[in-house]
Structure 1
Amino acid sequence: MSLLRKVNLEVQKYRLKRRSRQISFDLLKASILLGTVGGLAVAMIWTYAFVLSSPYFRIRETVVRGCKELTEKDVLAVAALPPGTNLLACNLEKTARAIRRNPWIREVFVGRELPDRIVIEVRERQPIAVLKHADGLFLVDREGLLFKRLEGMDDIDLPVLTGSEGSPETERALFGQSLALLDFLGRTQTFP
């Protein structure tokens, strides 16, 4: 074998050895990176499960603000938030939707106060009149929304709007004017 051939073989061996070291080093780096990412993922999943089952974040108190017509018990009954539910696991939007189904509720905000409290703020509809309709008597708010059918046990002292037998356009116009008049009279100090 010639000297040149021997040198070429030695150079190739050296290059292979160097390449194999580089590949081994790259594999080691990739393994460490994958191990770290996997470890972090497992730690995050464990932490999530721990927080959702921790007694520290259990609902101990539910505060309801803004009730006038409704009682706190009425709001809590439709909210369906049993004590002991995890604060972070409860669906606030679902709770707000359930509360909004009550005809007296105009707006609702449901929020968390860490570590153990749910706050429910409601804005109720303010009736300004009773509308006599073909289907019965209904409470009407400032926006003209019929929001609740009157029942025998309702104790309401409001003006009654009647005469809704014309065309829908005429009814809507007269109804709007009646509400504007009631709104004006409600804001003046001289009208009882």
Structure 2
Amino acid sequence: MAWITASGVVTVFATLIAVAVYSPLLALQEIRVTGTARLDAEQLTEAVDSQLGTPLALLDFDKLTDDLSEFPLIRSYVTEAVPPHTLVIHVVERQPVASVMTSDGYVLVDPAGVEIERTEARPAGVPLVEVEEGEIGDDVFDAIIEVLLALPDPLLPQVDQVSATTMDDVTLKLSGVGQRIVWGSADRSELKARVLERLMAAHDPGASVEFDVTAPLSAVVRPL
């Protein structure tokens, strides 16, 4: 009797597993996309809808990755199966950090130098990086982006332009009266950010001055 009972339990479990894996009762019928702003959620849904009708346990996530790779604005994503019929794709979009002027207009880029969009007018809310188009993603560009990411959060929206000819002479121009920050290289950026924050707090925001934090332990403030 014990063996019969055990055999029956195993059979029941095997049946339940087979139903869960292969049954159309748990087939994919709805795909939802969250987290999109610049991307069109409907286009993302259409890109992966070939898996509709597939049981949730048999979804081809390698194919899903291939399908979504056509959208460079996706920085990352997480999938969530919601039985009985739904797949939710939580998308994290690339966020712009700067714009670059080119012969075709302005290119909005993320910290990795990936193009987010092109516009004829200069995008608002991000600094303009002065580099040649072919230099996006090179060492000088990377140094500029590293500096921007190290800035105190309240200061970043005030940056109007950033320029550099080498990795060691990053300079930022602020909006308003045009205060300038000579940053130098991206080395010791965390310390430079703290020093800069204190220097700016001690000076009139309307004063036309230059903050030189190239050597953060002997920073200099000079009139423009």
TM range, normalised to the smaller chain?
0.5 to 0.7
Of 23, 26, 31 in structure 2, the residue corresponding to residue 54 of structure 1 is 23
Aligned to 2:162: none
Report the Cα offset of residue 116 of structure 1: 1.2
Aligned to 1:106: 75
Report the Cα offset of residue 125 of structure 1: 1.1
Q: Deviations over 1:86-118 (max 9, x none)?
A: 123224576357535632112212101121111
Matched, 1:66 2:35: yes
Of 129, 141, 149 in structure 1, the residue corresponding to residue 98 of structure 2 is 129
Report the Cα offset of residue 178 of structure 1: 5.2
Q: How many residues align?
A: 153
Of 118, 127, 146 in structure 1, the residue corresponding to residue 87 of structure 2 is 118
Q: In the aligned structure 2, how far is the partner of 1:36 from the partner of 1:178?
A: 68
Aligned to 2:129: 161
Q: Which runs of 5+ in 1 are unaligned?
A: 1-28
The answer on whether the counterparts of 2:28 and 2:52 sit within 8 Å (CA) in structure 1 is yes
Aligned to 1:12: none
User: RMSD of aligned C-alpha atoms?
Assistant: 4.1
Of 146, 159, 163 in structure 2, the residue corresponding to residue 176 of structure 1 is 146
Report the Cα offset of residue 80 of structure 1: 4.5
Q: In the aligned structure 1, how far is the partner of 2:48 from the partner of 2:121?
A: 26
Report the Cα offset of residue 174 of structure 1: 3.6
Change (3 A) 1:43 1:150: same
Between structure 1 and structure 2, the one with the greater Rg is 1
Change (3 A) 1:112 1:149: closer
Please give the TM-score of this superposition, normalised by the length of structure 1.
0.57
Of 148, 157, 162 in structure 2, the residue corresponding to residue 186 of structure 1 is 157
Matched, 1:145 2:148: no
Please give the TM-score of this superposition, normalised by the length of structure 2.
0.50
Of 101-110 and 42-51, more deviation after overlay is shown by 42-51
The answer on whether the counterparts of 1:60 and 1:84 sit within 8 Å (CA) in structure 2 is yes
Higher strand proportion? 2
Which has the higher relative contact order, 1 or 2, with Cα contacts under 8 A spaced 6 or more apart?
1
Q: In the aligned structure 1, how far is the partner of 2:86 from the partner of 2:60?
A: 14
Higher helix proportion? 1
Q: Deviations over 1:60-101 (max 9, x none)?
A: 211111111111123224434532111232245763575356
Matched, 1:83 2:58: no
Change (3 A) 1:156 1:128: farther
Matched residue SS, 1:111 = strand
The answer on whether the counterparts of 1:66 and 1:121 sit within 8 Å (CA) in structure 2 is yes
Report the Cα offset of residue 57 of structure 1: 0.9
Which residue identity does 1:176 align to in structure 2? E
